[in-house]
Chain A
Amino acid sequence: MSKYAAAQKQAEPAVLQPTPQPKDDFQEELVVRPLHSGDIYASFQFRTLWETDFMRGNKVSHYRLFPKSLGQVISKFSVRELHISFTQGYWRTMQWGQPYLPSPPGAELWVWFQDSVTDVDATWKELTNVLSGIFCASLNFIDSTNTVQPSASFKPLGIGNVTDHRFLRYATLPREIVCTENLTPWKKLLPCGSKAGLAVLLKSEKLFHSSFHSQAVHIRPVCQDWQCKTTSWELRQTLNVVFDLHNSGQGKREWSLFKMFSRTLTEACPLASSSKIYIDITDNPEQFELSPATSLLSQAMVLGDRRTFSVYDLTQQDTFGSVRSLNLLIRWKSTEGDMLRPLLHAERYVAGYGLQTGEIHTLMYNHHPYRSFPVLLLDSVPWYLRLYIHTLTVTSKGKDNKPSYIHYQPSKDRVRPHLLEMLVQLPPNSVTEVTVQFERALLKWTEYTPDPNHGFYVGSSVISSLVPSTVAMDTNSTRERPLFSSFFPCKEESSYFVRVYTEPLLVNLPTPDFSMPYNVICLTCTVVAVGYGSLYNLLTRSFQIEEPSPGLAKRIANVIRKMRGVPPL
């Protein structure tokens, strides 16, 4: 089509028209952070910015870098923000630190709708069905029994003035499996697919042989410039993976792109305006050596800390050297050094015994030596665990800690789950424990899954918090910053926003014996056969005396005796 436009322009007389500025932009980046335990954390981010308006009258029809399937979803369902993530594995905060983009195990979907939507629940149901087709996942299992409407958590991450929580829906599927069939459509949304640029590294056999794998899609409106009068749509596709030292690294503290992904890089995506690799070299630069060496260094304020990165720019031809391929090598020289303890950490477990009652314990750790900060805890418990809210206790350092805000919505059997949101102030250097007792319900026999003895999952708790930071955070949102540091908007310099997910719980519900009908039939038939049969035989059998037939030797002897004329034996 551009050829025709160019031909048209040439046919016109000498009035020269300026070529329109491209309204969409694509950036890709990879951040590699070596972890203290010898593992390595790689985070891919692909961002497409597009200045367009999905909500106006005429439908958008010309898609260039922005994928059409997602654009149609946004305009058809009047979506303001969409965040969906698929995760395999659990993020170990105490060993690995904080991730750049947190996500809970399984699938998580939260959506802010525009305020023009009249029936949010019906739109939500249709949206989950459409997304299940796009991402090849069982998102159609999201219904009213696992959807909640948080009242204070999950504020929009994009720009906007309206924050009426009636338009927010949040759901998790902790049982959802992530495998190549989810990665394939995710890769197809990228402008270069998996053919060029950083996406060539995404090979499923290596990515799923890892301790942690998370892929996500985030769509939100962002400011276009510092004035923030016009908005553009931002699509971020992120993929976080942690490779284990022993599983993928064969025990050697030496990582390279080839060892991690079984591929090396040969070119940047031609459609990308920027394509960079950042290696985190803050932790004691003498501890490991990095090759090929690069002179580009960059500093960024991320996760409350000032980190230094070595930068490899893939749009420059000399990054690839004479062999035309880039294979970064990170080799450890010493294994000393402690990791900075993350300031906020959370755990959750089920206590109790038996199949009738139990207790959910959520522990939140504040490792800051002298500052306390507030956290917002969101708990969504399925209806078949009946929570007794009068047993809810929040204790810190052995004393009662009253939350300054509680929102509790009780469950309704087979309709709605429990929703508990609390704003708790965590004292410095302490553990805060939230406990609540529950009772397990007996489901109808058709409601059990085909493998009920595996157990039933309870989704992760979400803990959102503004954690005090050691360095002043950058609040200027439009300056050129690497993608990994610009995901959560920063409003004040002294703290940064962090979201921590706990483990999902696996609880056993009282399960009926599904083989019971068969066993009952066998038992009844056996009893009838043995009992009635014996009685019948006793009553109707008559006994007759019968001479047993003599053995062979005796018979021959009798024949000889008969011949001799002697009486038989």
Chain B
Amino acid sequence: MKTHVLFNLFATFLLADGLNIEDSAGQFFSSGHTNNWAVLVCTSRFWFNYRHVANTLSVYRSVKRLGIPDSHIVLMLADDMACNHRNPKPATVFSHKNMELNVYGDDVEVDYRGYEVTVENFLRVLTGRLPPSTPRSKRLLSDDRSNILIYLTGHGGNGFLKFQDSEEISNVELADAFEQMWQKRRYNELLFIIDTCQGASMYERFYSPNLMALASSQVGEDSLSHQPDLAIGVHLMDRYTFYLLEFLEDIHPASKANMNDLFKVCPKSQCVSTPGHRTDLFLRDPGSVLITDFFGSVRKVEITTEAIDLTDPIKEVEERPANGDVHKEMHSYVDQLPVSEIIHQNGKLCATSTNKMSLCCFHGDVSECEMQLPRGLGVEGPP
């Protein structure tokens, strides 16, 4: 009798556990995305903007740690801080003073660097309208089931973000780019984070669905930097991204933290500015959106019960060297500096040259050269 009761208890326990598994499986498939992309942009040039590069690299580091591979990250850094000649520790970019954490790491791949980080390139990456010869690592190959994280940092103002001290992107342009992405079905959900002065102005104009935005400061406020390092001589990080990095360091790929926790990062007491967020365009409730939906890359698996036939193993075709069939000529290395050949090359060069303006080579006799120049085409003298 007792064993019977025990057995019943055990069975109900198992059943309850089974229901739990189904529940979590259901939650697993609820978000609707199948792949993750990240576009991380630092828009500032010059050594004193070290902190913007450190901001972007710390988000890059977190995103890579949580699973998004390099092939799905488009990293744009407008200037090189790690191998800058002013850096006392080359090939490092630190985020904490006393050089505690090197966010540059040993395994970084920067896709757009230096002068390539322009407003035009950024918008082309977002909308996918790149020239056909652009390599894959420089493209955002997202589809309609991709969740994209976009992080921008640099110097900004009310309604604009400055790129490399020479051009700006406005919030209207950005909103239109996102609308293009929506109409081309280039994203499922998009999280936009911006860490600049008056950052909230950049997301005011968004009008496409499924966009969630966070900014480090409201309109009229400045985002402040965190702490300088006396050995390096510049400020290392901005406050908002510093506390964001601290928050993300606690997240692991199976973490259940949701967006409401992210909105609480860096309150006014720590950040001095008031971080803002915008969720009205987002269809799901932010409390049900996991951090790893955007920062991690949890691959969804679709289980199928179909059977697939594998082909026979491929046999490598053995190449038989054709003995005596083809008469192979003997190859040789080329002479690296064939002086006599070069000196006597002039006739061939002048005759086949389609460019009439190229001067010919001479044996040391200038007169021969002047005959070959077209009449009336002298070399210019100073004005």
Residues of A within 8 A of B (CB): 1, 4-5, 8, 20, 62, 88, 125-126, 129-130, 132-134, 136-138, 140-141, 151-152, 155-161, 163, 175, 177-181, 184-185, 203-205, 207-209, 223, 227-231, 357, 374, 376, 388-390, 402, 404-410, 423, 437, 439, 449-451, 464-466, 477, 488-489, 491, 497, 514
- Beta-carbon contact of B91 and A374 below 8 Å: no
CA gap between A1 and B313 in the complex, in Å: 8
- Beta-carbon contact of B45 and A489 below 8 Å: no
With A376-B342, A388-B380, A408-B359 as given contacts, are A133 and B136 in contact (CB-CB < 8 Å)? yes
Q: Which of these binds chain A: B30-38, B171-179, B360-368?
A: B360-368
- Beta-carbon contact of A178 and B83 below 8 Å: yes
- Beta-carbon contact of B45 and A451 below 8 Å: yes
CA gap between A389 and B313 in the complex, in Å: 67
> What residue of chain B has the Cβ atom nearest to residue A425's Cβ?
B339
CA gap between A180 and B359 in the complex, in Å: 44
Cβ-based interface call for B138 (8 A)? yes
Q: In the complex, which residues of chain A have a beta carbon less than 8 angstroms from the beta carbon of B313? A: 1, 4-5, 8
7 contacts between A and B (CB under 8 A): A5-B315, A136-B111, A159-B331, A180-B91, A180-B105, A184-B109, A465-B337
CA gap between A158 and B36 in the complex, in Å: 45
Known: A133-B134, A390-B379. 13 other contacts (CB 8 A): A8-B313, A88-B83, A141-B116, A156-B334, A205-B92, A229-B328, A404-B363, A405-B346, A408-B358, A450-B165, A464-B336, A477-B333, A488-B336
Q: In the complex, which residues of chain B have a beta carbon less than 8 angstroms from the beta carbon of A141? A: 115-116
Q: In the complex, which residues of chain A have a beta carbon less than 8 angstroms from the beta carbon of B337? A: 155, 374, 376, 464-466, 497
CA gap between A477 and B330 in the complex, in Å: 14
- Beta-carbon contact of A159 and B110 below 8 Å: no
Q: In the complex, which residues of chain A have a beta carbon less than 8 angstroms from the beta carbon of B382? A: 357, 388, 437, 439
- Beta-carbon contact of B137 and A204 below 8 Å: no
Cβ-based interface call for B318 (8 A)? yes
- Beta-carbon contact of A209 and B91 below 8 Å: yes
CA gap between A5 and B315 in the complex, in Å: 7
Q: Choose from A20, A177, A402 the contact partner of B364 (Cβ within 8 Å).
A: A402
Q: By CB atoms of chain B within 10 A, which of A156, A204, A409, A489 has the most? A: A204
Q: In the complex, which residues of chain B have a beta carbon less than 8 angstroms from the beta carbon of A152? A: 342, 345
CA gap between A1 and B314 in the complex, in Å: 8
- Beta-carbon contact of B137 and A406 below 8 Å: no
Q: Which residues of chain B from 292 to 348 have a CB within 8 Å of any chain A CB?
A: 313-316, 318, 328-339, 342-343, 345-346
Q: In the complex, which residues of chain B have a beta carbon less than 8 angstroms from the beta carbon of A228? A: 330-332
Q: In the complex, which residues of chain B have a beta carbon less than 8 angstroms from the beta carbon of A497? A: 336-337
- Beta-carbon contact of A489 and B336 below 8 Å: yes
CA gap between A231 and B135 in the complex, in Å: 30
Q: In the complex, which residues of chain B have a beta carbon less than 8 angstroms from the beta carbon of A439? A: 382
> What residue of chain A has the Cβ atom nearest to residue B139's Cβ?
A133
**Nearest Cβ on chain A to B54's Cβ, whole angstroms:** 15
**Nearest Cβ on chain A to B353's Cβ, whole angstroms:** 9
Q: By CB atoms of chain A within 10 A, which of B91, B313, B330, B345 has the most? A: B91
Q: By CB atoms of chain B within 10 A, which of A184, A209, A450, A451 has the most? A: A450
**Nearest Cβ on chain A to B232's Cβ, whole angstroms:** 14
Q: In the complex, which residues of chain A have a beta carbon less than 8 angstroms from the beta carbon of B362? A: 406
- Beta-carbon contact of B336 and A138 below 8 Å: no
With A208-B90, A450-B164 as given contacts, are A390 and B138 in contact (CB-CB < 8 Å)? no
Cβ-based interface call for B11 (8 A)? no
Q: In the complex, which residues of chain A have a beta carbon less than 8 angstroms from the beta carbon of B107? A: 184
Q: In the complex, which residues of chain A have a beta carbon less than 8 angstroms from the beta carbon of B91? A: 179-180, 204-205, 207-209
Cβ-based interface call for B69 (8 A)? no
- Beta-carbon contact of A229 and B331 below 8 Å: yes
**Nearest Cβ on chain A to B120's Cβ, whole angstroms:** 12
Cβ-based interface call for B24 (8 A)? no
CA gap between A205 and B114 in the complex, in Å: 21
> What residue of chain B has the Cβ atom nearest to residue A164's Cβ?
B352
Interface residues on B, range: 35 or more
Cβ-based interface call for B129 (8 A)? no
**Nearest Cβ on chain A to B250's Cβ, whole angstroms:** 27
Q: In the complex, which residues of chain B have a beta carbon less than 8 angstroms from the beta carbon of A5? A: 313, 315-316
Q: In the complex, which residues of chain A have a beta carbon less than 8 angstroms from the beta carbon of B134? A: 129, 133
> What residue of chain A has the Cβ atom nearest to residue B369's Cβ?
A406
Q: In the complex, which residues of chain A have a beta carbon less than 8 angstroms from the beta carbon of B363? A: 404
- Beta-carbon contact of B343 and A136 below 8 Å: no
- Beta-carbon contact of A151 and B315 below 8 Å: no
> What residue of chain B has the Cβ atom nearest to residue A392's Cβ?
B379
- Beta-carbon contact of A223 and B331 below 8 Å: yes
**Nearest Cβ on chain A to B335's Cβ, whole angstroms:** 6
Cβ-based interface call for B100 (8 A)? no
With A141-B115, A466-B336 as given contacts, are A410 and B135 in contact (CB-CB < 8 Å)? no
CA gap between A464 and B339 in the complex, in Å: 11
- Beta-carbon contact of A180 and B343 below 8 Å: no
> What residue of chain A has the Cβ atom nearest to residue B335's Cβ?
A491
**Nearest Cβ on chain B to A159's Cβ, whole angstroms:** 4
> What residue of chain A has the Cβ atom nearest to residue B379's Cβ?
A390
CA gap between A488 and B313 in the complex, in Å: 44
Q: In the complex, which residues of chain B have a beta carbon less than 8 angstroms from the beta carbon of A204? A: 91, 106
Q: Which residues of chain B from 102 to 147 have a CB within 8 Å of any chain A CB?
A: 104-111, 113-116, 131, 133-138
With A20-B318, A374-B339 as given contacts, are A179 and B80 in contact (CB-CB < 8 Å)? yes
With A151-B349, A497-B336 as given contacts, are A140 and B380 in contact (CB-CB < 8 Å)? no
Q: In the complex, which residues of chain A have a beta carbon less than 8 angstroms from the beta carbon of B166? A: 450, 514
- Beta-carbon contact of B133 and A130 below 8 Å: yes
- Beta-carbon contact of A180 and B345 below 8 Å: no
Q: Choose from B330, B331, B332, B343 the contact partner of A404 (Cβ within 8 Å).
A: B343
The 8 closest A-B pairs by CB, nearest first: A133-B135, A489-B333, A179-B83, A4-B313, A129-B133, A208-B91, A450-B164, A159-B331
Cβ-based interface call for B381 (8 A)? yes
**Nearest Cβ on chain A to B326's Cβ, whole angstroms:** 10
**Nearest Cβ on chain B to A445's Cβ, whole angstroms:** 10
Q: In the complex, which residues of chain B have a beta carbon less than 8 angstroms from the beta carbon of A180? A: 82-83, 91, 104-106, 108
Cβ-based interface call for B89 (8 A)? yes
- Beta-carbon contact of B334 and A160 below 8 Å: yes
Q: In the complex, which residues of chain B have a beta carbon less than 8 angstroms from the beta carbon of A163? A: 334
**Nearest Cβ on chain A to B203's Cβ, whole angstroms:** 26
> What residue of chain A has the Cβ atom nearest to residue B118's Cβ?
A450
- Beta-carbon contact of A140 and B334 below 8 Å: no
- Beta-carbon contact of A62 and B316 below 8 Å: yes
Q: In the complex, which residues of chain A have a beta carbon less than 8 angstroms from the beta carbon of B13? A: none
Q: Choose from A156, A227, A406, A491 the contact partner of B359 (Cβ within 8 Å).
A: A406
Cβ-based interface call for B3 (8 A)? no
Q: In the complex, which residues of chain A have a beta carbon less than 8 angstroms from the beta carbon of B349? A: 151, 407
- Beta-carbon contact of B135 and A155 below 8 Å: no
Annotate B11-44 by CB proximity to A: 1 below 8 A, 0 otherwise: 0000000000000000000000000000000000
CA gap between A357 and B383 in the complex, in Å: 11
Q: By CB atoms of chain B within 10 A, which of A130, A152, A163, A402 has the most? A: A152
Q: In the complex, which residues of chain A have a beta carbon less than 8 angstroms from the beta carbon of B330? A: 227-229
- Beta-carbon contact of A388 and B83 below 8 Å: no
Q: In the complex, which residues of chain B have a beta carbon less than 8 angstroms from the beta carbon of A88? A: 83
